[in-house]
Amino acid sequence: MELHLAKQSRKHTSKSLKVRLEDLLNKYHHHNEHVFYFAPTNTHKDMLNALACLEKQGYKAYLNEVKISADDKDFIYALHII
């Protein structure tokens, strides 16, 4: 499963990077990263599928929508792996 990472800046015009779920788990285990931010171009269904895959593998994870402005369309997904 590939997901789009959130951009570092809203003004940054390049394409968002794609990352596989296996790569996230590698960062979680080897680089001690627990929070990952994803672009709103990912469907909510894909994000829930990623969460379900993590839970199937025995991880506890939480998914949140983080608002970055007053507009409802301006948000990113935050995925916390515990």
pLDDT averaged per 10 residues in sequence order, the chain, 82 residues: 83 76 92 92 95 95 90 88 90
Question: Which pLDDT score, from 0 to 100, does residue 14 have?
Answer: 65
Give the Cα separation of 47 and 41 in Å (integer): 10
Q: What is the pTM of this model?
A: 0.84
Which of 7, 22, 25, 1 minimizes the C-alpha distance to 77? 7
Sign of CA dihedral 30, 34, 40, 45: positive
Closest C-alpha to 43, from 3, 74, 1: 3
What single DSSP character describes residue 11? T
φ, ψ (nearest 5 deg) of residue 28: -65, -45
Residue 70: the pLDDT is: 82
What is the C-alpha separation between 16 and 7, in angstroms, rounded? 6
Residue 1 is predicted with a pLDDT of: 84
What does the pLDDT read at residue 68?
85
